[in-house]
Structure 1
Amino acid sequence: MAKDTLTTPQPQTLEQEPQTTTVSLGRDARQNTLRNIGLIIEHEYKKRLTQRSFIISTIIILVLIVIGACVPTIIQYFTANSNSQTKVVVVNNAGTIAGMNDTALRRYVDSTLNGTASGQSASEKAQFAVSTAPAGSSNNLQKQVKDGTLDILLVLDRAPGQDDVHFTYYTHASSPDIATTSQVQTLASQLSLLDRSSRLGLSADQTSKLFAQPAFSVVNLGQAQDKRSVGDIVAGYIIAYAGIILIFMSVYLYGMTVAMGVAEEKGSRIMEILVNAATPLQLMAGKIIGIGAAGLTQMAAFVVVGITALLLQTPLKAALLGNNTGGLNLNITGNFITLLLLLLVYFILGFLLYATLFAAMGALVKRQDEVQNAVQPLTWLFMIGYFVSFFGIYSPDATWVRVISYIPFWTPTTMLMRVGIGSAAGWEIGLTIGLMLITIVICTAFAARIYRAGVLMYGQKPGLGQLIRLARTK
């Protein structure tokens, strides 16, 4: 009966050309290819998921995600239940301002600083405790500010011969809080506008209409009209920013895991045993897919826990604060789901592309501590697309950004950025996915030849010429 044969590489040095030894196997050798790859995938997947470092890092990141999502609610909870308030006293030496007496002025300052029409909601304590003092009492109050018994003193004056109000802000802090100072400046601007409008004979309603925001819309005639809602646009930017970072970190970390795993097996000489049980291509494919599946599992956990934590902020705030304002209204629309699916697609394609090259580089080193230097060119190559994505987000339709987004090595991050902000057409998405698939096939064939010869090469690290010869070896 005719027999199929499988050629297995033998250990070689840098000076030797790759040699092969013919081993007689059964006819079912090729039929076992998928089975071998499946076993390797299962081994790598279980190995990564059961590693102590993997479990601990995943738990830590999940806890950080939950804490990060809950931080606004936690801060608001402690602020609402804190006895400390920022004490503000307003001294009006400027006379009547916009027709308001001291009581009306206090209410206006209170509502403006605390951000609500009544100064505070029924279940929350106001951040600022606002009161007024008689005109001419600022000197005594300045002593209280200096002693620390009063937080803010706001004095309103009119300079002789001038109609505009002058605002003086007194505080005890050596470095005034930027957020509080900004709020007081906003209050001063609004009071000044109201006062000027009143002196010009305008009513409060007329003043409100005068400074109302105009209706403004953008219609892009260069491509199909963007019919996304404001929520979809915001979600697109969030996914673009978060996705770029997630893809870069994940592809790099999991790619390094592939390279380190190959180098570890090669350094311990386990590879010599493995290549007799499966072909180098099967080993490379199984390792890449297994580690990639572990990475996808970890990413899925991050996404699910993150979205769940954000959605739970509304009921959590209702339970802690007695109201449900300020929660995240996450609108799960078709556009949102499409963006998440494209994030998944570009992550998988980007990982497969770089993981094959990382595996080839890992096969060329003698020890694990050499992996970092070996993969450095790939790291710099990937970082170009990462930085272009952030710089290009301000001009996504620029020719140079579009050209770079078509280059497969930079597509995962740059195209996700363009898709997220709505500047990529459907045909561009299809084109870039197709180009990446073609490049993955080419790089896999290239990396497989280097991997096949490199895993059993224990001499010094080959140079560029030797790499080319290895890649041309069939």
Structure 2
Amino acid sequence: MNKFFVILSHTYKNRVKSKAFIITTVLTLAAILIMTNIQTVMDTFSGDGEEDSSIAIIAEEPVASTLTSSLAGGELFEGGEEEGKEAVLSGEYEALLVVDLQESGLPEGHYYTEQLTSSSDAEARQVLQQIKTNIAAENQNLSGETLTAISSPVAFERTALEEGAKSEEELNQARVIVYIMLFVMYFAVIMYGNIIATEVTTEKSSRVMEILVSSVSPVTQMFAKITGIALLGLTQFALFILVGYLGITLADSTEGSLIQMVGLSNPDWGVVGYAVLFFILGYFLYATLAAMLGSLVSRVEDAQQTVTPMMMMIIVAFFLAISALGAPEATYIVITSYIPFFTPFVMFTRMGMVDVALWETLLSLGILVGTILLLGFIGARIYRGGVLMYGKASLWKNVKEALQLSKKE
């Protein structure tokens, strides 16, 4: 057991001190702080450009008065259309809005900007549309009350009849949490799976493995490395959660913050708890597979190719989970949620979106845990023989040879 902790400690310390780990962690923490306080960041950077956001308006009354009073930054331009264009090009105005009246009396607009990507015309289009609607209503002798009644959206409410079904607000909140957790699981499993496979292959290519196997059993090595990388991941995600919590705390005090808009001020901790559980089980499932595959090759270049089938399974699982967000009770989603390599992603998504029966949850967890134990047993045997193999061969030949070598020990 002492040797297990020595390898675990060595794996953890080497990785946590690496430049790649430090740079990735710092950049991710910065991104989390920015995302959780995106409204504050946008307000900070947009404040300097408020003076340049004015829009020149060329129009006849009464359209001109309505536009200048309704359009943010709208200013009546006294000159002609060509002069207005020159003013936009010189930076005096952000845009020029020219409004002409058709024979029917309805307005039509032309919006000029220096670049089509440099400004949004959505607000100008919306205000002009409202003006057109009002003029059309006056032409048809429609009262303001009648126009309001026509324009107001129809009253429409959705109610779920099934007992225990989530409300619209709960579904929106769960959808956001599931999205976040799916991306976290996806990138974490891919990243740490690659790290484990590369770690094993690197030691084999440097012949360190020949020294290790003489004093420590290969099985001890495999699970020590898997646990060491798991602790590395926990360290990184603990930092992410801490900084994310601080960012959310700061953002929550800002009116209209991103956290408030997506409804995460008071998250569903049950969904978060299941996310952590499926994340841990999914990690050990794919980590064991990655360590086994990494032991079959002796070059880092070959390791990337060997773990490609595993990466493809992760990608398929991720897209199935994304599909499950829109149709969590579809037959193919229900079936794939019990396939162990897809379960951490698909079953978690189902549980976040709909009320899954307890027996379904326990069955999926049982299948997943059983698969991890089985894969650990088979993977340990392949790892025991694989770490002693050098040279090139096909994947299946390497597996066969590794199993044969493990029997001779």
If the length of structure 2 is used for normalisation, what is the TM-score?
A: 0.86
| Corresponding residue for residue 159 of structure 1 | 102
Q: Which of these residues, 102, 114, 117, is aligned with residue 173 of structure 1? A: 114
Letter paired with 1:166: P
| Corresponding residue for residue 226 of structure 1 | 165
| Corresponding residue for residue 9 of structure 1 | none
Letter paired with 1:143: E
Q: Is the Cα–Cα contact under 8 Å of residues 397 and 423 in structure 1 kept in the other structure?
A: no
CA distance in 1, matches of 2:136, 2:16: 68
Letter paired with 2:178: A
Offset of residue 132 of structure 1 = 4.0
- 1:212 to 2:152 alignment: yes
| Corresponding residue for residue 241 of structure 2 | 303
CA distance in 1, matches of 2:199, 2:117: 53
CA distance in 2, matches of 1:440, 1:471: 19
CA distance in 2, matches of 1:327, 1:451: 47
| Corresponding residue for residue 40 of structure 1 | 7
| Corresponding residue for residue 25 of structure 1 | none
Distance change in 2, residues 1:461/1:104 (3 Å): closer
Q: Which moved more, 1:49-58 or 1:145-154?
A: 145-154
CA distance in 2, matches of 1:266, 1:367: 8
Letter paired with 1:53: A
How do 1:355-370 residues align onto structure 2 when only pairs under 5 Å count? 355-370=287-302
CA distance in 1, matches of 2:296, 2:257: 54
SS in 1 for 2:110: strand
| Corresponding residue for residue 308 of structure 2 | 376
SS in 1 for 2:108: strand
| Corresponding residue for residue 131 of structure 1 | 75
Letter paired with 1:146: E
Q: Which of these residues, 245, 262, 265, is aligned with residue 183 of structure 2? A: 245
Offset of residue 211 of structure 1 = 2.6
How do 1:179-328 residues align onto structure 2 when only pairs under 5 Å count? 180-221=120-161, 223-228=162-167, 230=169, 232-315=170-253, 324-326=255-257, 328=259
- 1:84 to 2:51 alignment: yes
Q: Which moved more, 1:402-411 or 1:425-434?
A: 425-434
Q: Is the Cα–Cα contact under 8 Å of residues 52 and 93 in structure 2 kept in the other structure?
A: no
Letter paired with 1:182: A
| Corresponding residue for residue 411 of structure 1 | 343
SS in 1 for 2:49: coil
SS in 1 for 2:109: strand
Structure 2, unpaired ranges of 5+: none
Q: Is the Cα–Cα contact under 8 Å of residues 320 and 333 in structure 2 kept in the other structure?
A: yes
RMSD: 2.9
Q: Is the Cα–Cα contact under 8 Å of residues 146 and 172 in structure 1 kept in the other structure?
A: no
Q: Is the Cα–Cα contact under 8 Å of residues 415 and 424 in structure 1 kept in the other structure?
A: no
Distance change in 2, residues 1:417/1:380 (3 Å): same
SS in 1 for 2:121: helix
Letter paired with 1:279: S
Would you tell me which structure has more helix in proportion to its own residues? 2
Q: Is the Cα–Cα contact under 8 Å of residues 99 and 110 in structure 2 kept in the other structure?
A: no
Letter paired with 1:159: Q
CA distance in 2, matches of 1:195, 1:225: 50
Distance change in 2, residues 1:463/1:294 (3 Å): closer
Identity of aligned residues (%): 27
Q: Is the Cα–Cα contact under 8 Å of residues 145 and 151 in structure 1 kept in the other structure?
A: no
Q: Is the Cα–Cα contact under 8 Å of residues 385 and 401 in structure 2 kept in the other structure?
A: no
**Which structure has the larger Rg?**
1
- 1:397 to 2:336 alignment: no
Q: Is the Cα–Cα contact under 8 Å of residues 91 and 154 in structure 1 kept in the other structure?
A: yes
Offset of residue 450 of structure 1 = 0.3
Q: Is the Cα–Cα contact under 8 Å of residues 194 and 290 in structure 2 kept in the other structure?
A: yes
Offset of residue 246 of structure 1 = 1.6
Letter paired with 1:328: I
Offset of residue 174 of structure 1 = 4.3
Offset of residue 228 of structure 1 = 4.2
Q: Is the Cα–Cα contact under 8 Å of residues 342 and 416 in structure 1 kept in the other structure?
A: yes
Structure 1, unpaired ranges of 5+: 1-32, 111-127, 318-323
Letter paired with 1:186: Q
CA distance in 2, matches of 1:374, 1:132: 67
Offset of residue 438 of structure 1 = 0.8
Letter paired with 1:130: G
If the length of structure 1 is used for normalisation, what is the TM-score?
A: 0.75
- 1:439 to 2:378 alignment: no
CA distance in 1, matches of 2:185, 2:145: 51
Letter paired with 1:193: T
CA distance in 2, matches of 1:295, 1:143: 61
CA distance in 1, matches of 2:350, 2:166: 16
Offset of residue 229 of structure 1 = 6.0
Deviations 1:308-342 (A, max 9, x none): 22331355x6xxxxxx4546336454x62122222
Offset of residue 446 of structure 1 = 1.0
Alignment: residue pair count: 401
Offset of residue 144 of structure 1 = 2.1
Offset of residue 445 of structure 1 = 0.9
SS in 2 for 1:277: coil
Q: Which moved more, 1:140-149 or 1:374-383?
A: 140-149
CA distance in 1, matches of 2:377, 2:171: 40
Letter paired with 1:191: I
Offset of residue 176 of structure 1 = 5.8
SS in 2 for 1:364: coil
Q: Which of these residues, 334, 345, 353, is aligned with residue 421 of structure 1? A: 353
